[in-house]
Structures are given as C-alpha cells and as structure tokens.
Amino acid sequence: MAGFIDRSEWATFLDEFSKRNQLRPTRLEIVGDIGAQEQEAFLPFVGVTLDTKGSVGSVDIALGGETAADQRQLTHHISNVERIAPLIGITGVEDGLGIEGRDGVKTLLSFEALREIEAHATAQ
C-alpha cells in the first residue's frame, strides 16, 4: 500500500471516501500470516467509521443490504490501526481502501465491477 493518509486526516478522509463510494459492490480480504482470506464478495459498501481513543484508532467497515429488509450485512472491525491508504487502480480511479493494523495484518476493501454492467457498457 502506498500513498498513506496522514493520521490527522483519517476522519475526514474516511467520511469523504464513504460518501463517494456508497453502495458500490465490494470484496473484503484479510492478509496476514496465513495469506489472503476472503471475507465476502459483492456486498454493497455502506461506510467506514473511525473511533479514536487517545493515540489508538480503530476502524469499522460496514457492508450490507440496500434496504432494511435485506439481511446481508457485515461489519468488520480493525483495532490498533497504524496506516490507511486509498487503493488507486490503473485508470486513476479509487478502487478501494487498505488498512494496516499494528499487528501487520492488512485489510483490503476492493470495489468490484458487476459483469453484466461492464458487458453492457462495452457493447455500446
């Protein structure tokens, strides 16, 4: 992960990131000692929140259904956050978010393209 966000800007960055990317389909992966473990795929992005207590920060990533009736929901909690970086794709578009904890474990939130939309867009 490159282009880390300064700690003093985390709250503002995460709030703006959440607004810009609301309801985009996601993929959430945790990268640690045993490799990359996929947590979910294609849940809509709800938002990212920061909780700071002193010099220690924690982040919650909320994913889930677009309506109250949709039961698909996941909140992933990351304690002792050390670094946050946007993931920028080859086209220069924001493709996700990388968060690294003090333990070295990285959480990668990637935005997914829906194939049927992608295929329809290239056909025109």
Tokens 């909690």 belong to residue: 77
Which CATH number belongs to the domain containing residue 34 in this structure?
2.30.29
Q: Number of structural domains, the chain?
A: 1
- pLDDT (tens digit, 9 = 90+) per residue, 53-67? 877 899 999 999 766
Helix (H, G, I), strand (E, B) or coil at 9: helix
Residue 105 maps to a domain: yes
- pLDDT (tens digit, 9 = 90+) per residue, 29-52? 999 999 999 999 999 999 999 999
Residue 1 maps to a domain: no
Question: Of residues 117 and 107, which shows the higher confidence score?
Answer: 107
Give pTM, 2 decimals: 0.86
Provide the residue range defining the domain that includes 83: 7-123
Long-range contacts of 68-77, Cβ-Cβ distance < 8 Å, separation of 24 or more:
72/43, 73/43, 74/28, 74/39, 74/40, 74/43, 76/28, 76/39, 76/107
Give the integer Cα–Cα distance in Å for 62 and 74.
6
